[in-house]
Chains A and B, each alone.
Chain A
Amino acid sequence: MLSCDQVTFTYEEAGRPSIREVNARADRGTLLVVTGKSGCGKTTLSRIINGLVPELYEGRLEGHCLLEGEETTSQPIHLLSRRVGSVFQNPKTQFFTTDVRSELAFPLENMGVDREGIRERLDQVSELFGIGHLLDRSMFALSGGEKQTVAIASSCMADPDLLLLDEPSSNLDVEAIEALRAILDKLKGLGMTMVVIEHRLYYLDGLADDFLILQDGRVVDHLTPSAMRNLDRERREGMGVRALRLDESSKTATPEEEGGPGLDASRSGQEALLRIRNLTYSYRKGEEKALQVDDLTLSSRDITGVIGHNGAGKSTFANLLTGLLKPDHDQTRFTLDGKPQTAKERLADSYMVFQDVNYQLFCETVGKEILLGARRKDLFDEVASRLDLEHLLKRHPNTLSGGEKQRVAIAAAILSGKRLVVLDEPTSGLDLLHMNQVTEMIRYMRSLGVMVVVISHDQEFLEQTCQRFITFREGRPVRDSPELGDLLQAL
């Protein structure tokens, strides 16, 4: 079906090739996984397969990428797109219309299929994906998982020979990933050929037929599923690849802890405690409570992981904790080290690193960015070197990669000198190396005496980072444990 033969590609204006002499094959009805560190060339390979090279990204291509014997890059993209369906990483930015029905119809409308034909196919596809109930909804009103399902459904509308998915799980929560797995399973059962580019591998166990591992643009390994499962940890981590099975990831060799948690607090002198009592919050007066916390104490000694389903109250809790929202009534007490705090004081004393850090970058250079509003300017050199930002200080934040932007946002959080930092899904779309880096940065924050709360769905990351796990369900903390266990069950 698909065969890449000695493919080398150099982007225009790039000094060296992004991928070199890559050979890959995907037979009809099989699922090929392409994995490797960020910047290893996975996405470049995907662009050659779906024709975005040369349509959107120009450069010099050598070798051949053949789909059923035809060169992919030499056909016009509108013809290739009928045969290769593409699904991208970010569910928010890959829909072109504003409602589900139109989004599904979009590829066929472009092809000029008549109305009856579109309607028929739309019925088939919406039944296959179980999205009949979503058809009249606005795209903006869907959850991330639903958006991603619609994106896959839409790329199946033209009945492609090959489906290419570029990190489809990176912005999804655990349950949405389960749903994604079920969809891929179903498509595979129907004989669809798929190429999945991914960091997060556990959900592909049992579905994948082949694993291709790239490093610095070259294929360094080509493994069968059993070889991948038995890959020894050191070698896997050397290639920057995440675990195929989650039970293994908990044993992951994580960056060394600098002393025990007790020693960590030494630099700040002592443990800080934030106690929350009688906290309730409703979005509208008289409506059901969106959040209720009777008595909860957070400590700067533990890195606290907050977990829960979509809509379980995690974000509301974070917004109340940081003072963005005000609680319902005056009986609510927030006390930091015994001193009561108002919402305004909490806002002045806390910081949030968003899932999408693009919204919190304001300046024209990285250096200015991390100093904006900073109270701990004295830490500048130390933070810049620990977060590996020294060579980036003069760059414009928007020219950085996703991982680099996130490091800038975290650096700004540290220099702000605030006592509480909340990180919302800090590892979406990160490879092993960057995930470990985030863990290290969080530990560094703790060593400075900062109280850190992490909202996350990423089991591998949570296990290696947090010492305490609080589960929210229907707006209440229902489980508070030093052990995570199985994330799906912990929800």
Chain B
Amino acid sequence: MSEAAKGTGKKVPKKFLYVNRKAPYGTIYALEALEVVLIGAAFDQDVSLAFLDDGVFQLANGQDTKGIGMKKFANTYRALGDYGVTKFYVEKESLQSRGLTLGDLQEITYEDENDDFKEKPSIILVSRAELSEVMAQQDVVLSF
């Protein structure tokens, strides 16, 4: 836990990381993880998302679920910036081993309220080693 969060008195936001490891369809993990992120956004914590393994497919462009009769929720990721969820760590190795590049992912942006509401990319490409550092900095890691 961060030193700040340990103190008595006023509550300092905790660092929450939601780790997405599964493909968007095939199992319900991605959808129900997103439901947690949406509810969690109301609690004013410091939220980050991580996408690794097949989880990188959750952000893939051009998803079309008509043929499988599943609800498409891919667009919801683009709305998360409005809820203060602006850090999407995507693991490079997971993209590479699946033949994907940043260009295969949706463009996800947020308006930076600390910088004249400039539109900035939410996706942060990180190596596996860098992602492990991000994980080490968290107070709460929820893995799906």
Do A and B assemble together? no
Q: Which residues of B are in contact with A by a Cβ distance under 8 Å? A: none
